[in-house]
Amino acid sequence: MGKDLFASRELLTSAQMRALENHAMATGLATGLALMERAGAAVAQEIRLRWPVPGRVVVLCGPGNNGGDGYVVARLLDEAGWQVRVLGLETAPGPDAAEMKRRWRERGGIEALTVEGLRREEADLTVDAIFGTGLTRPPEGEIAALLRDLGNAARDGHAVSQPLVAVDAPSGLCLDSGAVLGARRGADAGAPHARLTVTFDSPRRGHVLELGPALCGELVIADIGLARQGRVAPFGAIAPPIALMSGPRFAAEQAFESHFGHDELCRNLLTKSATGHKFSHGHALILAGGLGQGGAARLSAKAALRVGAGLVTLAPPTEALGEHALPPDALMRRAVDGPEDLLHRLEDKRITAALLGPGSGIERAAALLSALLETGRPTVLDADALTALSRRAEPLAGLHPGCVLTPHLGEFARLFPDLAEKLRGPVLPASPPPEDMAAALAWHAALKADQAALAAMRGPLYSKLDAVCEAAARAGCTVLLKGADTVIAGPDGPPFVQASSYDAAAPWLATAGSGDVLAGIILGAMARGSGPYRGARIGAALHAAAARSFGPGLIADDLPDTLPKVFHTLAI
């Protein structure tokens, strides 16, 4: 943690990566052959670091340049004393891969790339160099069967004894979305689970979104000589938007910080000036709900206090004031009974940000929404407020650039049904009651159409980043889509993923109330003047860091209390 908490690095699409490589080749920075040799060498090196005693390896080489990398890996491991079997295709690859294939042939043979040929039990390690960034349609025939086989083996637990190393990506994974091409969204049957994935220059979106982290295993990002200092829009060759990511640890020199400098952040947000007073650090207002719904708002309130808001006021309706007499005692309580009352409260300009949604109740949220938005105050809308928004005739009306929406996937789908549908892709039709013949026939027809739609899938698939960017543009404000991969987009900064990869997983956040804490952290940061986009990013980073710091056994109540420990690691 510590210094790298707010560090970010570029997250590219496959097209952006290709543009980068093409530009490097066109400008004479490196030849395609040299890049391929470095890519293969990086994979071989990472393998030898982890498996220092040479063993038996089977290298699976596909029809393109990913296969070319595979031939390099085979040659270098052979040179290092490994027993190497190569399975490949007859088809002629491009010139660079063809040259690498020729060089391999000088050392060993190539068997057919088939399920029968695989004989994984005879190997200690499998290298998957079948498809990388060039995969744009679902694998078919023998290769599809082989990939399914590898995927099933992993699920049966065989991967524990027979690890698989993926070159650039586990084959079948769409590197733009993190979904498996040809499979239903969320289904991983068509791609192997790697123990280690070695990718080149920059992570791609699919490495960190959706199934990416689970399929990639440990992700190593190897330098192949395209490294650019002082990054973003490197060489001016990449079409925007260039997304950023944070999460997995990476070397300091790979970090891109100028949008979101750690030092500046710590100075402005996580410290307090020696001469300031409570009103120098903002006043956060939380519009809590009626009787029996107070817990969520109190979780948010505690988080806002811990993140350093000078004052936090909890504002339930009068009848629920008594319930909020519970700790934390640092909270102030003040009833807000309806829109007029709210407008009156917000005449106090020292209230610098507001939160509506956690435990507020949908009806109360609906009643307060318009008044709150009308004031133009920096505002976080979460939970019930998002549902209330989605039920309005014009759900996005009145939203302004000072707003942050923090939906999970269900709330996102209510607010942006068309985007969610695009993201979901083909869905298995619900099975009819067995006795209804007509319905059964219709179901079979729907199933056939569904399978045809899966086979017709073409990459790059629509991704969570695409969906959140579209949502933010429509809403005219910052949108944070919660999940293991939290995605943020908004008018004030580049699209961003708070990744939950192999070394940055925060699965303990999957517990009731953790979303309320996230909303509270963002509220606290915004009350202190962070702005909506930064507030969302600060929230996502601190939320995950607190969960990782606490670890197993975490409940949402622990998150705010763990924040001081996280701050202490930031050396402020």
Ligand X SMILES: NC(=O)C1=CN([C@@H]2O[C@H](COP(=O)(O)OP(=O)(O)OC[C@H]3O[C@@H](n4cnc5c(N)ncnc54)[C@H](OP(=O)(O)O)[C@@H]3O)[C@@H](O)[C@H]2O)[C@@H](O)CC1
Ligand Y SMILES: Nc1ncnc2c1ncn2[C@@H]1O[C@H](COP(=O)(O)OP(=O)(O)O)[C@@H](O)[C@H]1O
Which residues are annotated binding-site positions for (6S)-NADPHX? 65-69, 132-138, 168, 296, 359, 408, 516
Per-residue b/e over 383-413, b at no fewer than 16 CB within 10 Å?
A: bbbbbbbbeeeebbebbbbbbbbbbbeebbb
| Nearest residue to 413 (alpha-carbon basis) of 320, 326, 483 | 483
Q: Distance between CA atoms of 395 and 338, rounded to whole angstroms?
A: 20
Its sign, for the CA torsion 198, 200, 206, 207, is: positive
| Residue 271 binds: one of ligand X, ligand Y, K ion, none (C-beta under 5 to 8 A by kind) | none
466 is a contact residue toward ligand X (CB under 6 A):
no
Question: Is the peptide bond between 460 and the residue preceding it cis, with omega within 30 degrees of 0?
Answer: yes
Q: Distance between CA atoms of 437 and 196, rounded to whole angstroms?
A: 49
Residue in the block written with tokens 């979305």: 177
| Nearest residue to 352 (alpha-carbon basis) of 399, 316, 402 | 402
Contact assessment for residue 504 and residue 518, using Cβ atoms and an 8 Å cutoff: no
CB atoms under 10 Å from CB of 125, counted, come to 21
Contact assessment for residue 195 and residue 170, using Cβ atoms and an 8 Å cutoff: no
558 is a contact residue toward K ion (CB under 5 A):
no
408 is a contact residue toward ligand Y (CB under 6 A):
yes
Contact pick of 486, 501, 549, 562 for ligand Y (by CB under 6 A) = 486
Q: Which is nearer to K ion, 42 or 506 (by Cβ)?
A: 42
What residues form the annotated binding site for K(+)? 66, 128, 171
Q: What is the total count of residues that contact ligand Y (CB under 6 A)?
A: 17
| Nearest residue to 112 (alpha-carbon basis) of 60, 147, 75 | 60
In whole angstroms, the minimum distance from the beta carbon of 181 to ligand X comes to 7
Contact pick of 510, 555, 571, 572 for ligand Y (by CB under 6 A) = 510
463 is a contact residue toward ligand X (CB under 6 A):
no
Q: Distance between CA atoms of 526 and 541, rounded to whole angstroms?
A: 15
562 is a contact residue toward ligand Y (CB under 6 A):
no
In whole angstroms, the minimum distance from the beta carbon of 48 to ligand X comes to 19
Question: What x-and-dash track marks residues 214-243 binding ligand X by CB under 6 A?
Answer: ----------x-------------------
Q: Which residues pair with 105 in a beta bridge?
A: none
387 is a contact residue toward ligand Y (CB under 6 A):
no
In whole angstroms, the minimum distance from the beta carbon of 290 to ligand X comes to 55
Q: Which is nearer to ligand Y, 312 or 509 (by Cβ)?
A: 509
What residues form the annotated binding site? 65-69, 128, 132-138, 168, 171, 296, 359, 408, 482-486, 515-516
Question: Is the peptide bond between 339 and the residue preceding it cis, with omega within 30 degrees of 0?
Answer: no
Contact pick of 139, 308, 490, 513 for ligand Y (by CB under 6 A) = 513
Q: Which is nearer to ligand X, 6 or 200 (by Cβ)?
A: 200
35 is a contact residue toward ligand X (CB under 6 A):
yes
In whole angstroms, the minimum distance from the beta carbon of 135 to ligand X comes to 5
Site for K ion in 155-184 (CB under 5 A): 166-167, 171
Q: Which is nearer to ligand Y, 399 or 521 (by Cβ)?
A: 521
Question: What x-and-dash track marks residues 113-152 binding ligand X by CB under 6 A?
Answer: ------------------xxxxxxxxxx--x---------
Residue in the block written with tokens 């199933």: 447
| Residue 128 binds: one of K ion, ligand Y, ligand X, none (C-beta under 5 to 8 A by kind) | K ion
**Which phi-psi region, left, alpha or beta, contains residue 148 (left: φ > 0; alpha: ψ -120 to 50)?**
alpha
Q: What 3-state DSSP class applies to 372?
A: helix
Q: By CB under 6 A, which span of 50-58, 62-70, 74-82, 515-523 interacts with ligand Y?
A: 515-523
CA angle 66, 247, 23 (to 5 degrees): 40
- Secondary structure element (H or E) that encloses residue 220, with its range: strand 218-222
36 is a contact residue toward ligand X (CB under 6 A):
yes
In whole angstroms, the minimum distance from the beta carbon of 15 to ligand X comes to 11
Contact assessment for residue 284 and residue 297, using Cβ atoms and an 8 Å cutoff: no
In whole angstroms, the minimum distance from the beta carbon of 322 to ligand Y comes to 24
Site for K ion in 120-159 (CB under 5 A): 128
Contact pick of 4, 10, 128, 168 for ligand X (by CB under 6 A) = 168
Q: What 3-state DSSP class applies to 221?
A: strand
514 is a contact residue toward ligand Y (CB under 6 A):
yes
Per-residue b/e over 135-156, b at no fewer than 16 CB within 10 Å?
A: beebbeeebeebbbebbebbee
| Residue 486 binds: one of ligand X, ligand Y, K ion, none (C-beta under 5 to 8 A by kind) | ligand Y
Identify how many contiguous H helices and E strands the chain contains and give both numbers: 20, 18
**Binding footprint of ligand X on the chain (CB under 6 A):** 21, 32, 35-36, 39, 62-69, 131-140, 143, 167-168, 200, 224
**Binding footprint of ligand Y on the chain (CB under 6 A):** 408, 482-484, 486, 500, 506-507, 509-510, 512-516, 518, 543
**Binding footprint of K ion on the chain (CB under 5 A):** 128, 166-167, 171
